[in-house]
Structures are given as structure tokens and as C-alpha cells.
Amino acid sequence: MNLELQITDDVAHLLTAGYADLPRAAVEALALEGYRSKRFSEGQLRQMLGFSSRLQVHAFLKEHEVHLHYSLADLEQDRKTSNEQEDSAGRENQRLA
């Protein structure tokens, strides 16, 4: 989809002076606001910005001081997974000893 913006010449001059790639800056601004307002997921951001990994999305968000959407439920799931991996590694180490 192509999007055309109508702005005054003085605003256009300010924007073009501040951004080497104004269309990319506009897409990034839309992506950031969409993520901040929870309209866009990480996956949608990755696709919109042409990133190949979640790590690129995380770096982009960090660069723009936008926090990840990470809930208490996400933390609990990560803790559970970590504990399971530790238990599995411990059993493997015992088996090898």
C-alpha cells in the first residue's frame, strides 16, 4: 500500500533536513506508535520494518526507548521453561558423571 501525506512546504523542509530517508522514518514512526498503543505485535513490526529476527525488533525498540510488551504471564512462562531446562541439564550432567 502506498500512502501520500499532505504537509506544508515549511514542515516538509524541516522533515527532509532531519531525515536522510523520510519515507523510512515515517514507516518507523507509524510502527513505533502502533506498537506503543498495542495495535501491532512484535511479528507485525518485524514484517512492517523488514527485519529478519525478533532480536532486530528488540534492538529497534530499545533504540527508540520503547519497552517490550512483557506481561507477568510471560515472566511466569519464562521461569517455568528455565526451571525445566535447568532440571533437564542437571539430569544430563548426572547421567554423564
Residue 41 confidence (pLDDT)? 93
Q: Which domain holds residue 86?
A: 68-97
Q: Is the pLDDT of residue 97 over 90?
A: no
Split into its structural domains, the chain has a count of 2
Q: Is the pLDDT of residue 31 over 90?
A: yes
59 & 86 share domain: no
62 & 81 share domain: no
Q: 46 near 57, Cβ under 8 Å? A: yes
Neighbours of 41 (CB within 10 A): 13
55 & 86 share domain: no
The answer to whether the Cα torsion of 61, 42, 67, 18 is positive or negative is: positive
43 & 76 share domain: no
Q: Is the pLDDT of residue 63 over 90?
A: yes
Give the residue-averaged pLDDT of 34-39: 96
pLDDT-based confidence at residue 46 (cuts at 50, 70, 90): very high
Q: How far is CA 45 from CA 5, 29, 48, 50, 85, in A?
A: 21, 11, 5, 8, 30
Residue 4 confidence (pLDDT)? 87
Residue 89 confidence (pLDDT)? 78
